Amino acid sequence: MAERGKSTGRPEEGLERAPSRIGEDPEERVIRALLDGFPNTVTDFKKLRKGVLRAKIERRELYKACKLLKDSLGFEHLSMISAVEYDSRFELVYHIVSYQERLLLELVTTTPKDDPSVDSISSIWGGANWQERESYDLMGIKFNNHPKLERILLPKDYVYHPLRKDFKG
């Protein structure tokens, strides 16, 4: 017990941060890697503040881009998927985090209103599974190849997608 008491608040052995895999300036490296991999589909790169990036991507390349982010750029954590409805389109905002580089990438993709569907990324990040179900449930966005695309917060027999602007009460 006494030894355990000593370890209060101190990181355990072997938990030290691994050396950076990407290079000196991680933000530049991420931007370059994404632009190299998807020269035409990734647009509007913007550095919002230190450690926060934003990029737009076309939805057909989303899965590949996420695969690249996870496998070779070290983005281990999918923080949030938010769906926003605009007048003519749906916007899906993926907040993806790299634990090692302390980076947050805001990846924005759009879908048209008549075909709100993107590729599911739940096979890349397991944490995306329920968040995609939630977006489907509340906003009605279809995720292709999702293992179990069902309603999650609302009853199974509900017919509306309540976060859409045309839903009234």
Partner 1 sequence: MAEMWINMGPQHPMTHGLWNLRIKVDGETIIDAEPEVGYLHRGIEKLCEGKTYTQIIPIADRLCYGASLSWSHLYCVAVEDLLGLEVLPRAEYIRVAALEMQRIASHLMWLAAYAADLGAMIGFIYSMRDREVFIDLLQALSGSRITYNFPRFGGVAHDIPPNFERDSLRACDYMEKRLKEYEDLYEGSKVFMLRNEGVGLLKKEDAMNLGVTGPSLRASGVRYDLRKDMPYSVYQELDFEPATHKDGDCYARFKVRMDEMYESCKIIRQAVTKMPKGKWRTLAPRNAPEGTGLGRVEDPRGEGVMYVVGDGTDRPYRLKIRSPIFVTVSAAPKMLIGYKIADVVAIMGGLDMCIGESDR
Q: Which positions touch partner 1 (CB under 8 A)?
A: 1, 4-5, 7-12, 14-15, 17, 51-52, 76-80, 82-85, 93, 95, 99, 102, 104, 106, 125-131, 134, 138, 151-155, 162-163, 167
Going by the DSSP 8-state scheme, the letter that residue 127 receives in this structure is: T
CB of 77 to partner 1, least distance (A): 6
Residue 5 or 39 having the CB closest to partner 1: 5
Name beta bridge partners: 109.
57, 92
Residue 39 or 87 having the CB closest to partner 1: 87
Residue 1 or 39 having the CB closest to partner 1: 1
Q: Helix (H, G, I), strand (E, B), or coil: what is residue 87?
A: coil
CB of 36 to partner 1, least distance (A): 25
CB of 153 to partner 1, least distance (A): 4
How many Å apart are CA 99 and CA 21, to the nearest integer?
12
Distances (CA, A) of 135 to 48, 83, 87, 142, 164: 25, 6, 18, 8, 11
